[in-house]
Structures are given as structure tokens and as C-alpha cells.
Amino acid sequence: MAAAPFRLSIIDYLNAAPLNHGFKHGLGWEHFHLKFHYPAACADRLREGEVDAGIVSSIEYLRIPDLRIVPGLCIASPKRVRSVVILSKVPPEQIRSLALDATSRTSVVLAQLLLRERYGVTPAVVDMGPDLPAMLESNDAALMIGDAAMRAPKQGLFVLDLAEEWHAWTGLPFVFALWLVRKDAPELPVPGGVAPFFHKSLEIGLAQLPAIVEEARRTIGWTKIELHEYLTENISYTLGEAERDSLALFFEKAVRHGFAPEQQPLRFL
């Protein structure tokens, strides 16, 4: 009897492109079924058991039971991320209403934590599509994420880069997403199981960075130099000690503010 396929949720955001690249170009094609989602949908499919693994907003690790983290990999920002920003018509401490692009759940939590704890404001929030003029028409500020944030015009607005704010506050990198695997995911009939495939996919992606940059240049409009800098300096894919410390701190704050049920130890594949 053929083994059950391992169903993998893939995010088509630029920051996830190197992690996905090997899978999208045939790595382990005999084992994996690829499904394409935006981040929030990826989390929902994982929760429902419709996929076995995905690159998921880090906050979802506390919300979805029985997940395992692929060790050593994540989407983090050492200092400044440039693709997760609050764009505001007023200074941060005056924000009373915030429109949220709810496609990424970690960014939604981080934005509110920063405003509450760093700036002392708890704005009213509303979920909206990533349309900046519409968001700012009826709100003081807007949370923009991913490629839409990178394309958004920022002239005349206060710009809060969320990773930069977190780093200034804590001295730590910020972990936006993790490769998360369900406990009941199929076992792959290969030495080492599924984990090495995730690392190999990134290795292939990093080797193909010029191709990823060229594709992004056509859709995002940044220069090749800016895009290369984004993928090599603004984004990091290593889940090391500082990143694990940052996750623990973020999780503790998220639970204290009611954004997640309870703290969980980090469990790895």
C-alpha cells in the first residue's frame, strides 16, 4: 500500500520564498502534496488537519494543540524587517484606532503588544483587507504585512517597523513564523524522516537567491539590491538561541494580554 502523502502548506510571500523554494521545484515530489495559502489560512488548514505541516505564524504554536517545530528553521528578523509595519497618520502614542491586515496573526498580536506596552495605548482594532487608503480613511493607523507592506506608499506617515520596535525594546530578534508539523503527520519512509527535507529546501532556495530576487523585482518593484538585502539582512532563517529566547518572551506577553490560552514549552520534531 502506498504511503499517505505528506500535505504541505506553502506561503507565496517573498519572506518565505527561500524556505519553500526546494519544495516548489520538485524536492521530495514523490512524498509531498503542496497546497498554497496565505498565512492565516495555512494556520486554519493545519488546525483542521487538512495539511500536515506549514510555515505558520509563530503565535499559532500556542493556539493549535500538538504541534512540533522543525528545529533550526524559522522566519525571523534580526533587527529591521521592512515588511511588517504600522503606518500611522498620528504619532504612535496617539493611535486610537488601528486597521489590521489579519492575514498574519503573529503581526496582529505584536502590533497590539507594542502599542500597549511600549506606547501606552490600546486602540480599537478592525480587520480589513490590505488596502491602505481604505484602512486610513476611517482609522488613525494601519498594520500592513508582507508584499503589500513593501509596496505601500509611506510618504507623510509615521512608520513603525515592528521588528525594529521589538529589538529596540528587548534587544532580541523577532520570530514571525515557524515550520510547524502536526503530531499525527505521516512518517516518511526515508532515513531521518521529514525534517531534513525542510533544511534541504532552504539550502536550494539560498543557492537560487538571484532567481527569487528577479521574480520579486517584477512583482514588488524594489531594486535587486534592496530585495537581496531584504532576504539576507532583514530576514533570517535560523532558529538559534536568541530566537528561542525571543519566542519565549513573546509567548509570555501574548498569554498575559489574552492573545493565546497558555504558555507551551518549545517541542521539536
The per-residue pLDDT for range 217-268, each reduced to its tens digit, is 998 889 999 999 999 999 999 999 999 999 999 999 999 999 999 999 999 9
3-class secondary-structure state, position 262: coil
Give bridge partners of residue 124 from the DSSP assignment. Answer: 97
pLDDT at 104: 81
Of the pLDDT bands very low, low, confident and very high (cuts 50, 70, 90), residue 89 is: very high
Q: What is the mean pLDDT of residues 71-81?
A: 97
CB neighbour list of residue 238: distance below 8 Å, 6 or more residues apart: 72, 73, 74, 76
Q: What is the mean pLDDT of residues 144-165?
A: 94
Q: What is the mean pLDDT of residues 191-213?
A: 96
Higher pLDDT, 151 or 199: 199
**Residue 146 and residue 15 in contact, taking contact as beta carbons nearer than 8 Å:** yes
Higher pLDDT, 104 or 70: 70
**Residue 153 and residue 124 in contact, taking contact as beta carbons nearer than 8 Å:** no
The DSSP 8-state label assigned to residue 268 in this structure reads: B
**Residue 88 and residue 171 in contact, taking contact as beta carbons nearer than 8 Å:** no
Q: How far is the C-alpha of 55 from the C-alpha of 39, rounded, in Å?
A: 8
**Residue 56 and residue 104 in contact, taking contact as beta carbons nearer than 8 Å:** no
pLDDT > 90 fraction of the chain, expressed in percent and rounded: 90
The three three-digit cell numbers of residue 124, written as one number: 480599537
Q: What is the mean pLDDT of residues 31-56?
A: 93
Q: What is the mean pLDDT of residues 20-30?
A: 96
Its pTM stands at: 0.95
**Residue 100 and residue 151 in contact, taking contact as beta carbons nearer than 8 Å:** no
pLDDT of residue 149 exceeding 60, the answer is yes
Mean pLDDT, the chain, as a whole number?
A: 95
* 6-76+174-241 and 84-170 share one fold: yes
**pLDDT tens for residues 169-189?**
999 999 999 999 999 999 998
Q: How far is the C-alpha of 42 from the C-alpha of 20, rounded, in Å?
A: 14
Q: What is the mean pLDDT of residues 146-169?
A: 95
pLDDT at 2: 53
Domain 6-76+174-241, CATH: 3.40.190.10
pLDDT of residue 71 exceeding 50, the answer is yes
Q: How far is the C-alpha of 9 from the C-alpha of 176, rounded, in Å?
A: 16
Of the pLDDT bands very low, low, confident and very high (cuts 50, 70, 90), residue 1 is: very low
List the chain domain ranges.
6-76+174-241, 84-170
Give bridge partners of residue 29 from the DSSP assignment. Answer: none
What distance separates the 2 farthest-apart alpha carbons in the chain? 62
pLDDT > 70 fraction of the chain, expressed in percent and rounded: 99
pLDDT at 102: 80
CATH 3.30.1330.180 corresponds to the domain 84-170: no
